[in-house]
Amino acid sequence: MQDKSKSWSGRFHEPVAELVKRYTASVDFDKRLAEFDIQGSLAHAQMLGQQGIISVADVNAIETGLAEILAEIRAGQFEWLLDLEDVHLNIEKRLTDKIGDAGKRLHTGRSRNDQVATDVRLWLRSVSDEVVAGIRGLQTSILDLAEQHFDTVMPGFTHLQVAQPVTFGHHLLAYFEMLQRDAERFVDARKRINRLPLGAAALAGTSYPIDREQVARTLGFDGVCRNSLDAVSDRDFAIEFTAAAALLMTHLSRFSEELILWSSPRFAFVDIADRFCTGSSIMPQKKNPDVPELVRGKTGRVNGHLVALLTLMKGQPLAYNKDNQEDKEPLFDTADTLLVTLQIYADMLRGIKVDKANMRQAAFEGYATATDLADYLVKKGMPFRDAHEVVALAVRHAVDKRCDLSDLPLAELQQFSAQISDDVYAVLTLEGSLASRDHIGGTAPRQVKLAIAAARQLIA
């Protein structure tokens, strides 16, 4: 006897094996698409009614039934059945139980292939907006902290060696810029997410006189997918979202690595609030930066999801294949990981305490103003390569004496160049070095304040 719970069961002579049911079912994870599935179904039903494909009475019954089902789902009263395989069949079966034949007419002119593609795009469009909002929240936390420390001196590093002095505010603004590019990527990716697949049906379109543009307008899509084969088989939008997510997580992983280093006693630049840290089960003195470490670790997880999605698609012929069911778990987990990471990171930065004295002291290590001395000699007329060599000799002398360049007496500095005079000490100070970089993108405190103001306007 035919199993009427299946949309395709009349073709088969035996039921699906229980193990196969569990293996092929997606309802455990795709039920999160339920509200978007209902949203798409309502728009589809309204179009069918306006095109005269189903009756107005059927449309009204469908709208009433779907509203009741949505209420059941939101109240946690909807019974999800593994036998019904996925979110779509579960909702359709419940609708048919409620309103009879009108529920069976809802699937006219569409397939689960274009239905699921529409659901995922609706969901991902919403998630993209949440991600951009999360980025803005984190950027605000960065700007707030940068504003407090626009003139706080710290060493800038290359190769993790002291290079030149910068301000902590300037350093933080580098992450603002990374996040700004991330936000732009998600906004741009949303444009390609926001195309309607519905109406492509299984792969070739439908013989019913549907109006895809109307459905697109109802659902807020910018337009329709122009080719039915591509509409049902495309997952570029999911890959692009995950690629943007992987890059965002990579930026946060870099930030995390610095917070981990800076919070260690060897640096002691920052203190992370206790609520973001844990202790050791054996060493009572420990305060471990668990949140930054987990962000660093979860970045590998999101990167893995990107590789999984690329691998999923690389060998698929047109059009839809069951492989595509495997797009959801990595995509869902990527979104979940990203959203909670953005939220917790914004909060964590609000609890950062900065040790200005330790940062300043570290800037004296490694002869951070050596380049300023070279620039000073160039301004006196010396070719830069010659100035570079003069300063290298002066640094070696200071190393031997175990002192900073600014601690060397003028007479000793003049041994390396007669062009050095007593005005040199103004450029050898940390503040002098910072102030001299007074241009757009520079680390001078005045420029940092201007950059913060411009950044606030940008995200307003």
Active site residues: 159, 280
- For residue 64, the tally of other CB atoms under 10 A from its CB is 14
* Residue 157 structure tokens: 């590093």
- Give 288's strand partners: 278
Tell me which residue of 203, 218, 212 sits closest to 51, measured CA to CA.
212
The radius of gyration computed from the CA coordinates of the chain, to the nearest angstrom, equals: 31
Q: Is 345 exposed, middle or buried (0-12, 13-18, 19+ CB in 10 A)?
A: buried
Angle 266-271-274 from CA coordinates, rounded to 5°: 125
Residue 279 CA to residue 289 CA, distance in Å, equals: 9
Q: How far is Cα 372 from Cα 454, in angstroms, rounded to an integer?
A: 28
Distance CA 307, CA 203 (A): 26
H-only helix segments in 227-323: 228-233, 236-262, 290-313
CB within 8 A of 74, min separation 6: which ones? 35
Helix (H) or strand (E) holding 342: helix 328-350
Both structure tokens of 364:
């004296």
Helical axes 112-148 vs 87-99, angle rounded to 10°: 120
Question: How far is 204 from 375, CA to CA, in rounded Å?
Answer: 69
CA distances from 62 to 35, 49, 120, 267 (A): 15, 11, 22, 64
- Residue 254 contacts residue 263 (beta carbons within 8 Å): no
Query: Residue 424: left (phi > 0), alpha (psi -120 to 50), or beta?
Result: alpha
What sign does the dihedral 106-66-224-326 (CA atoms) show?
negative
Distances (CA, A) of 302 to 84, 134, 307: 30, 17, 9
End-to-end CA distance of the chain: 63
8 Å CB contact between 201 and 109: yes
The Cα 36–Cα 251 span in angstroms is 31
